[in-house]
Amino acid sequence: MSGPVANCPSCGGPVEFHWAGAVQTVCGYCSSILVRHDMDLAAVGRKSLPPPSTSPIRVGTRGRYRDRPFEVTGRIVYEYERGGWSEWHLALGDGRSGWLSDAQAEYAVTFLAPDPGPLPSPNEIQRGQRFRWGGTEYAAAAVTRARYAGVEGELPFEYWDKETVPFVDLKSTEEGRFATLDYSEPRPLLFLGEYVAWNDLHLTDLREAEPARAAGTRALNCPACGSGVVIRDPEHSLTVVCESCGSMLDAKSPSLRVLQEYRRKTGRVKPLIPLGATGKWKGDPYQVLGFQQRTIRVEGTDYSWREYLLYNPRQGYRYLTEYDGHWNDVITLKTLPQEGRASGRPVARLHGETFKHFQKAEARTTFVLGEFPWEVRYDDRVLASDYISPPRMLSAETADGETTWSLGEYVPGAKVWEAFSLPGRPPRPKGVFANQPSPHAGRMWAHWKAFGLLFLVWLVFALGRLAVGSEPVLTQRFSFYPATDTGAVVTEPFVLTGRAAALGVDVETDVANNWVYLNYALINQETGQATEFGREVSYYFGSDGGENWTEGSRDDEARVPEVPPGRYVLRIEPEGPGPVNYTLRVHRDVPSLGFFLVALLVLALPPVFASLGAGAFEMTRWEESDYGSSEDDE
């Protein structure tokens, strides 16, 4: 990609346009800002000396966005009280012009919306305010007043005489969508696009000598105590804390101006991962830049956790957090979760996953070490809300009307120790953490899955046994008249063959508002051995207040287990106010589900105990939440 060549009107040096659509460029010899009118170049009387950049991107870098090639032709630099960022101009192969925002190693590609309709003034916008452009809803996430700090390379318009420019960044609930309202021109400009990952840009022709972390290090002395202070990320860091005296220092000040002194004599915290430690995390090298302890107070008790700021010049920032041996890998979200309610409680939804509200509290900074790309001070306070879907946690932090969302994922401490080659072993986790995955959940479902398969086998055997049925061996009818009957009756003999099996003795009576008690004796005629048992049959009915009622039954079933083969009779001795007629039926090999029920109970024990363990784990988890044990949670 190349264009015409001209001479700089300030120094006479050759100026070659690499992009034919360029309107403004910077002389590579004298740094004069030049504006192009056809082939004539006019110097605007300003030098462009943008702040040095350690970004691997440079003018001339090439890449691909959604399979469309592009080349970086220019750069605009902005600075504001909490940092700065670069806007790299992209000349795409299809002739379009786009922008790559590079803010603290966080990247977004945007394009100018040609006809967005009326746009609000910056004074009309409040954080969280909703807008809809191109069928996508956006929410105002941050309003920034930035100072123009310089340009380099070729741009599609004149841009050199700016002072302070308002910008509004907007995020969406749609994955990665991003928008910016730019007030650098008399009429507001709207840029629409999306956040992009470094690897998705397929960048080549990067800065040849991309500085290593050590090469970019800046070493000074603390003005409060005189100790050495190392700034490992001088381009982005705004504050740095002296490890010796704990003073909060301005990292952008040439002499490290003291912002806040650490006056507490106690409460110093030693990081488990040393500042400056490097390790491979999520497949990329990261360095620990900062350490912060934050504390919430619940019912008069302080609970503190610790956060480690990790930095990779291409992947940006992420955090490792630790509480009582529980670790989380945390990234700042570029997509807004959808907030709502379910079962009467707040929920948040992200990527199709629902997170339940867990806790809301004011968090304050109680200890800081190292450096941060934003201003961190002792006793900084935010309103923190956590939503969980183990092993993940969504967190919202609100301060000064601005809400920042982050997504954490529970990780074992052993992985942290391995990644950063730390000595010894990580602290053993204590208790149950909010998004700690239940150790019972996997076992519970595995047990229930195995139980389901075994239950099918059990059901086949049980139904097969019932289908076989029993063998009738005797049916005989009797009558009982108390006034005349004084003794027992004996059935006709019946023969049982084969193996020992259960014997069923069923009786059908005609008792009505009456009862009868039947004393049985099963007698083996060959051995004389008798098995005695008794059963009562009663049945009552009537009417009460116009409603009919019944109680009891006219029929009865009795079982005699494991009766051996032989020749038997059944002696029956009735008792009762009588009279009653009854029919006796004797069945051999009566199906009994008792064994099957016991077997089913044994099969159910492992999944039941696993479920009880999982339930106890969840109860312990939610006892630490805003909801305590007063309500059930899964």
Judged by DSSP in three states, 455 sits in helix
The answer to whether 65 touches 196, Cβ cutoff 8 Å, is yes
Q: Which residue has the higher pLDDT, 151 or 419?
A: 419
Q: Which residue has the higher pLDDT, 150 or 319?
A: 319
252 vs 218: CA distance, rounded Å: 11
| Element at 288 (helix H, strand E) | strand 284-298
Counting residues of the chain whose pLDDT is more than 90, the rounded percentage is 47
608 vs 583: CA distance, rounded Å: 45
**The pTM of the whole model exceeds 0.75:** no
**Which residues have a Cβ under 8 Å from the Cβ of 209 and sit 6 or more positions away?**
none
The answer to whether 234 touches 215, Cβ cutoff 8 Å, is no
| Element at 179 (helix H, strand E) | strand 177-182
Query: With 80 as the cut, is the pLDDT of residue 305 above it?
Result: yes
> Which of 17-31, 134-148, 161-175, 282-296 is predicted most confidently?
282-296
Whole-number pLDDT of residue 249:
87
Query: With 90 as the cut, is the pLDDT of residue 23 above it?
Result: no
- How does the average pLDDT of the chain come out, rounded? 87
Whole-number pLDDT of residue 485:
76
* Helix, strand, coil % over all residues of the chain, rounded to 5: 10, 50, 40
> Which of 92-96, 424-428, 458-462, 590-594 is predicted most confidently?
424-428
Instruction: Report residue 227's pLDDT band, with 50, 70 and 90 as the boundaries.
Output: confident
Judged by average pLDDT, the poorest of 74-78, 185-189, 398-402, 579-583 is 398-402
Judged by average pLDDT, the poorest of 144-158, 267-281, 551-565 is 144-158
Query: With 50 as the cut, is the pLDDT of residue 634 above it?
Result: no
Whole-number pLDDT of residue 599:
82
Instruction: Report residue 137's pLDDT band, with 50, 70 and 90 as the boundaries.
Output: very high
**Amino acid identity, position 324:** D
Average the pLDDT over 328-346 and give the result: 93
Nearest residue to 241 via CA among 365, 352, 396, 340: 365
Whole-number pLDDT of residue 217:
65
Whole-number pLDDT of residue 329:
97
**Which residues have a Cβ under 8 Å from the Cβ of 160 and sit 6 or more positions away?**
24, 33, 44, 46, 48, 151
Whole-number pLDDT of residue 326:
97
446 vs 477: CA distance, rounded Å: 55
Whole-number pLDDT of residue 631:
47
Whole-number pLDDT of residue 42:
72
The answer to whether 159 touches 24, Cβ cutoff 8 Å, is yes
Helix axes 439-468, 594-623, angle to 10 degrees: 160
**Amino acid identity, position 251:** A
Average the pLDDT over 32-45 and give the result: 74
493-529 pLDDT per residue, tens:
999 988 888 888 999 999 999 999 999 999 999 999 9
Average the pLDDT over 158-187 and give the result: 88
Please give the C-alpha separations between residue 10 and each of 5, 14, 32, 147, in angstroms, as whole numbers.
Answer: 15, 11, 7, 26
Nearest residue to 275 via CA among 228, 335, 211, 341: 228
Q: Which residue has the higher pLDDT, 441 or 605?
A: 605
Instruction: Report residue 212's pLDDT band, with 50, 70 and 90 as the boundaries.
Output: very low
The answer to whether 228 touches 221, Cβ cutoff 8 Å, is yes
Interior angle at CA 61, CA 57 and CA 62, nearest 5:
130
Query: With 90 as the cut, is the pLDDT of residue 437 above it?
Result: yes
Query: With 70 as the cut, is the pLDDT of residue 211 above it?
Result: no
Judged by DSSP in three states, 318 sits in strand
Average the pLDDT over 20-46 and give the result: 77
Structure tokens at 12: 């006479």
Instruction: Report residue 377's pLDDT band, with 50, 70 and 90 as the boundaries.
Output: confident
Please give the C-alpha separations between residue 37 and each of 3, 32, 157, 192, in angstroms, as whole numbers.
Answer: 14, 16, 11, 29
Structure tokens at 472: 């009738």
184-209 pLDDT per residue, tens:
888 999 999 999 999 999 999 998 75
Whole-number pLDDT of residue 463:
75
The answer to whether 509 touches 554, Cβ cutoff 8 Å, is yes
Pairing of strands 547-553, 580-588: unpaired
Structure tokens at 557: 């079933």
**Which residues have a Cβ under 8 Å from the Cβ of 376 and sit 6 or more positions away?**
239, 241, 248, 290, 292, 365, 368
